[in-house]
Amino acid sequence: MKLRRPRRPLPGPNFSIKLAPVSTIASAEYHDNDEKFIAILRDIVRGKQSWKVAFSNTFISDNLRVHHVENVLVQTLDDPRLALRFFNFLGFDLLIQAYVQNNRVLDAIVILRLMRECRLLPEVRTFSAVLNALIRSRRFSMVLDLFVETVNSGVQPDVYTYTAVVRSLCELKDFDMAREMIRSMESNGCEPTVVIYNVLIHGLCKNHKALEAVEVKNLLGSGALKSDVVTYCTLVLGLCKVQEFDVAQELMSEMFELGFVPSEAAVSCLVEGLRRKGNVVDAHDLVNKAGKLGVLPNLFVYNALINSLCKDGKLEEAELLFTSMGKQGLLPNDVTYSVMIDSFCKRGKLDIASSFLGKMTEAGLKATVFPYNSLISGHCKFGNLSMAETLFNSMIKKGLAPTVITYTSLISGYCREGELHKAFRLYHEMTGKGISC
């Protein structure tokens, strides 16, 4: 592949401006001594005295600090030959890495250019580190420009360098060029890894091109490289984002067949997608399969699935799911219990609903007004007003404020049983508290 010329050339080196202020500043007390020390170092660099002789002086070797080196470098960068006397290949390399580690990537680029002026090439790992630092600071266009500039100067990129460039191209949404970069990598004898394909797949999925990402995965499978668990999980998440749940299910099944353990995020996303689509049975089956591998959806998804099973009248399955989540270490919360209590109350199974309220208390969870409302409404509906009154008094003792649902359930129950005086008393109590129907 012929490398393109940079679209936006990096500014030419202006060393006195481009370098950031010195990071290590001596205290004011030693400022004058520092200036003298730096002047001595500068004279050594500009003169003919060798560093071997200079460092035999204990004054220099004992007092040399990083900010001294940086100051001398700044004052000699106008002449690459002087810089070359001060730094050899290793010195430049270490300085670039230090800038990268201290989040001063633009300064690192200045040193990279200076190396080229001195006809020195950086190690490819150092070059890759600079590219990744640019990515972390979201300077994706600069990654491409620096890649072209440095490779054209003779640096042979490796798989990490290409991966950084492909990641930047994906961020810039230039997926055709990202594919071309991978092909160029292969033609230049650099063997790609599954990681660089995963980067491309992630970029496509992030931009709602999950079906294109599946094609990349299929292309990957036709060669020597094989998809890994990251490939599959990324695709499942991407496919769910564009509501391609059938394809996502197929890939999840492939994962299970290959022995891969899917991530919690992938399982949760697909379970929730299937549930929302109305495919509760498949969602439930997926939870069971993933559970055997020790992977559970998050609690929000679990609660939503239990709620869907309950709405479909599958209370036994919902109860089994409730029990299994506790056994596998995912503890139900107050929402889980409230869903179970409400569902059993609506179907007249008040004893089971009451047992869930007891389990909730035993688990150390503080009941909210919602499970009490469900139980009160259920008992009123089936004519058990005494139990409804007991629950009403119990919730008040626990500091829970009755809501309009609490009052209207009891009022309706009293009216059905002909106890109108109790119904009016509760109505006046409710309106007196500012609660309206």
Q: What is the pTM of this model?
A: 0.73
Distance of CA 358 to the CA centre of its chain: 38
pLDDT digits (tens, 9 = 90+) for 308-362: 999 999 999 999 999 988 888 889 999 999 999 999 999 999 999 999 999 999 9
For the chain, give the percent of residues with pLDDT over 70.
Answer: 79
Tokens representing residue 401 in the block: 């404020």
The first and second tokens of residue 398, run together, are 């626990």
Q: CA-CA distance, 206 to 237, in Å (whole number)?
A: 9
Tens-digit pLDDT profile for residues 115-169: 887 787 888 998 999 999 999 999 999 999 999 999 988 889 999 999 999 999 9
pLDDT at 292: 87
What is the C-alpha to C-alpha distance for residues 248 and 286, in angstroms, rounded to an integer? 12
Question: Is 388 buried (19+), middle (13-18) or exposed (0-12) by CB count in 10 A?
Answer: buried
Phi, then psi, of 436 in degrees rounded to 5: -110, 150
More confident residue, 74 or 179: 179
Q: What is the pLDDT of residues 71-125, one digit of tens each?
A: 666 565 555 555 555 556 677 778 888 889 889 999 889 888 888 877 878 889 9
Q: Does residue 370 register a pLDDT over 80?
A: yes
How far is Cα 219 from Cα 38, in angstroms, rounded to an integer? 59
Identity of the highest mean pLDDT range in 23-27, 218-222, 284-288: 284-288
Q: Which domains does the chain have, with CATH numbers?
A: 359-437 (1.25.40.10)
Sign of CA dihedral 342, 347, 351, 356: negative
> Residue 238, by phi and psi: left (phi above 0), alpha (psi -120 to 50) or beta?
alpha
Note the residue count of the chain: 437
What value does the mean pLDDT take over residues 407-427? Answer: 91
Using one digit for the tens of pLDDT, what is the confidence trace for 35-59?
Answer: 766 676 666 656 655 555 666 667 6
Instruction: Please report, to the nearest 10 degrees, the dihedral formed by the alpha carbons of residues 404, 410, 415, 420 taken in order.
Output: -90
Q: How far is CA 52 from the centre of its chain?
A: 50
